Chains A and B, each alone.
Chain A
């Protein structure tokens, strides 16, 4: 009985304390309602994918804090609220529903999940909220004439797969040298992992290489059977399309079956610190794509975060994480959303809160020149991004980096996806989607509105 009373007292005290701490934030929010832009942040800081989801979330949130520390978005304070999804599609949808009308209406959603993107793609047009999926999501959503509300900025999985094949061809001495080669795709058995298959099959037909598909069940902790098949087939290259624990497990199994890590190439979600740091020396030689950026410890934006956010005791995660691969991915994702708002303000009024519809226009007319990017602190980190009605991706610049046993180092020059291959695939798949969903693609005239 005493214990129950004690527990009740502690709970009430905790509730009181929580109210005391949060009350000023709510009051402040109410007072400045007209000058706030709300960013919902779908995160996974718990569960099987937390080691990868956490740095992304920290980077995202720190960038919002940095923008506020520098005066906001043309004077408009960026506010945010996190919602934990655990990388589950149903919980992502729940979070979307919970946050879509908060803070005067959500600016844009970024789910960091291809599965969730598939689910939210149906909802975004109804609620008129853009979906930014930087480096993930549906590849065909690059066609903005059909996918009006989706923005797979910086690159899709078809871009990643295409660049990987270009890189392998370059290593072999030309596309003709790929004929007869064996390439295995070890992939997360989910919408994310299946995305590159269509592009790889197309490339396999063009160049005559043999593609084998090896799915790994979520979360990817048991891959012995998969790697025994790799050992039996002895592919010339293994492409790794994993996420979370699947990546490090794949590298350990490659070591255990004696498959050379130098022959392994991961997508940009399989090329960060959590994937290799515990494998250490055994992952030496492993390569992965970068979504433009890699580890960016010396970038101006990294130094700004350290000085203006962490330096003032407002950093979200550990200080030594700032500049790491997934942290930068989150930071850049937040930057893209904020630049969408800035672009919208150019048309609809500087210093005003933008609606989802207005932000959608901003994202569709993004023009991040190198000069602008350099001014934001992204010199050497990113190349220009420019979107349009027909191109919601905006750029397809990719590099390769290689783990040297203790850190990632860039090991290739810049690549761009081959539009001659990707564009027809995007058009075909997006028009098929439009037909299924009874969507009339926007005409060039409608695009201008």
Chain B
């Protein structure tokens, strides 16, 4: 029972991190109808900026305090993500208004490759460190209840907590602020939103910036766990089944989807893996999402699209 709970908790915490990456997809899709294939590349780019500036700043400014260096690096990286968002809007999205979804998807595919290459050219392709003071050692709890206790990974726990807080803040931003309402209006209907005076271009810059900052937080958490390197882009691939399952337009869907996928893949690997040779968690996550789609094609919380024929 103790081991089952460890797998469950591990899956939930990993799932929360998947939710964070999935949120980037959902935010952009909600506001612009674009399935942003570049979300993984944005995670890598943001993490590279954070890692490199936190390394360079102490040398440039003579700052010895790592907390100050990390805060400054975070601000610079966030500003860089704003610049990325602005450039994407100016150079790509603006020219593709009212184009087919497939065209926009292909455009983000191009952006993904460009950002991947640019990030490694500007910041390097080695492994870089982000040290934000996350504890690495595990903690054992409930030793009286379970033999050997219940192992909790402190780093994963804090990361899941940060992810949960960010998700909550974004949900509030969407529901309670005027900008959030404008974002939702744009998501519902571009032309109607424009007709009542909502500036489409500005909204897109805002939403891509927010997605960039979400990518930055995800990049910091994953980068702190495994080092900042190219493999971070693959984290986004882990979030794809989450958005398939949760629905592309739903913030709660990204959260619940993330938790289901996180738990599903860990349980499958631990309990089914040994029966079929192991290494099944990646495809199992996609299979789980596809099974859900059989019953709810729009995802768990996605909007049902009804077209008049």
Contact = CB atoms under 8 A, between A and B. Distances in A.
B151 interface: yes
B226 A221 contact: yes
Given A51-B229, A221-B226, A278 B129 contact: yes
A224 B281 CA distance: 11
B3 interface: yes
B-side interface mostly? helix
B37 interface: no
A277 B279 contact: no
B14 A257 contact: no
Interface string A31-59: 00000000000000111101100100000
Contact of A245 (B129, B231, B269, B278): B231
A92 to B, nearest CB: 18
A215 B279 contact: yes
A51 B125 contact: yes
Nearest to A53: B125
Nearest to A248: B227
A213 B278 contact: yes
B125 A221 contact: no
Contact of B125 (A50, A229, A252, A278): A50
Interface string A226-254: 10110110000000000011001100100
Contacts of A277: 127
Contact of A50 (B7, B222, B230, B273): B230
Nearest to B126: A51
Interface string A200-240: 00000000000001111101111011101101100000000
Contacts of B181: none
A225 to B, nearest CB: 4
B89 interface: no
A239 to B, nearest CB: 15
B125 A255 contact: no
A10 interface: no
A225 B7 contact: yes
Contact-size category for B: 35 or more
Nearest to A221: B231
A221 B44 CA distance: 14
Given A213-B278, A255-B136, A257-B151, A225 B273 contact: yes
Contact-size category for A: 35 or more
Given A54-B125, A217-B282, A258-B151, A222 B137 contact: no
A216 B234 CA distance: 14
Interface string B71-95: 0000000000000000000000000
B138 A256 contact: yes
Contacts of A278: 127-129, 227
B238 interface: yes
B10 interface: yes
A245 B125 contact: no
B225 interface: yes
- Of all A-B residue pairs in the complex, the 3 with the closest CB atoms, nearest first, are A225-B269, A215-B279, A189-B279
16 contacts: A45-B125, A46-B230, A50-B125, A215-B277, A225-B266, A225-B270, A228-B3, A228-B10, A229-B269, A229-B273, A245-B226, A245-B229, A248-B127, A256-B137, A258-B138, A278-B127
Given A221-B232, A248-B226, A256-B155, 8 more contacts: A47-B230, A48-B230, A217-B279, A221-B226, A225-B265, A228-B270, A258-B151, A282-B136
Interface of B: 3, 6-7, 10-11, 14, 117, 120, 125-129, 136-138, 151, 153, 155-156, 222, 225-227, 229-232, 234-235, 238, 265-266, 269-270, 273-274, 277-279, 281-282
Interface of A: 45-48, 50-51, 54, 189, 213-217, 219-222, 224-226, 228-229, 231-232, 244-245, 248-249, 252, 255-258, 274, 277-278, 282
